[in-house]
Amino acid sequence: MTGAAEAQLALRDVTVSFGGFVAVDGLDLTVNRGELRCLIGPNGAGKTTTLDLICGRSRISSGAIVFDGREIHQLSEFEIARTGIGRKFQVPSVFRELSVRDNLEIGSSRQYGVLRNLGKFGGAADRERLERLAELVGLSDDLDKLAAQLSHGQTQWLEIALILAQDPQLILMDEPTAGMTAHETEKTAQLFNTLRGKHTLIVVEHDMGFVRDIAETISVMHQGRLLAQGTADEVSDDPLVREAYLGSGGIGHA
């Protein structure tokens, strides 16, 4: 990291408990602007819950979450999205009965309401932007296909394009390569490497091969806490990380 790196997101001593069960426990995590951070950890470590807390889907019990110098943990999920935080969930939420183009038109519109949006798109700049987005995620040849006809990987890329259409500063991705073929996973790594620097990304992943392909810094969670942080080699060689993964097939099968 250079001296110019600027913290964009900071979780400060964040704790959440659900009915007495502490899922995230005094978590401190800082992510710099433009960084691609991977968040790994054994099942139940608190990774998805951490994303839920950042985007306002769950509420912290104590601590603070600061984004771009502003505390966001008291804002609603909608207000947090408006600050520039986008979230990709494990299950894509594309409109399967519409074409890829229509999906992108809806995603690109700044107004809300599906039917309203379809009628309000169409300037040359809008079309150009849509085509750039489709090209970025490798769907240029599929614009007129129904989303339902896309492969699993293509559906995930469409979902990513829909998030990019909102131009969020920070994008939270939960297991983006789950269920993808090796080739799709490779293409997704290329896509993420293209996004690096343009957006800040936090990627929760189990596929260590993918993580190695994209991550500079990896944060490892265990039992709701930050267990280790470093490069892929540093965290893979860390005895504490190895111990945390015992019983779950090792870090390679995280």
Ligand X SMILES: Nc1ncnc2c1ncn2[C@@H]1O[C@H](COP(=O)(O)OP(=O)(O)OP(=O)(O)O)[C@@H](O)[C@H]1O
Binding region for ligand X (CB under 6 A):
18, 21, 23, 41, 43-49
- As given in the structure block, the two tokens for residue 121 are 């798109």
Report the Cα 71 to chain-centroid distance in Å. 20
Q: Which amino acid is at 88?
A: K
Which residue, 48 or 156, has its beta carbon nearer to ligand X?
48
CB atoms within 10 A of CB 79: 11
Nearest-approach distance from CB 37 to ligand X, in angstroms:
15
What is d(CA 83, CA 225) in angstroms, rounded to the nearest whole number?
Answer: 26
DSSP 138-180: T-GGGTTSBGGGS-HHHHHHHHHHHHHHT--SEEEEESTTTT-
Which residue, 184 or 205, has its beta carbon nearer to ligand X?
205
Nearest-CA neighbor of 186 among 209, 202, 206? 209
Which residue, 33 or 225, has its beta carbon nearer to ligand X?
225
Which residue, 44 or 84, has its beta carbon nearer to ligand X?
44
Nearest-approach distance from CB 89 to ligand X, in angstroms:
12
Nearest-approach distance from CB 47 to ligand X, in angstroms:
4
Nearest-approach distance from CB 44 to ligand X, in angstroms:
4
Nearest-approach distance from CB 16 to ligand X, in angstroms:
8
200 phi/psi in degrees, rounded to 5: -90, 135
**For residue 66, what are the β-bridge partners?**
10, 71
Nearest-approach distance from CB 46 to ligand X, in angstroms:
4
Which residue, 45 or 161, has its beta carbon nearer to ligand X?
45
Nearest-CA neighbor of 224 among 9, 11, 58, 16? 16
Nearest-approach distance from CB 58 to ligand X, in angstroms:
7
Which residue, 21 or 78, has its beta carbon nearer to ligand X?
21
Which residue, 171 or 220, has its beta carbon nearer to ligand X?
220
Edge-to-edge order in the sheet of strand 70-71 = 21-32, 7-18, 62-67, 70-71
User: At what angle are helices 100-108 and 152-165 packed, to 10 degrees?
Assistant: 20
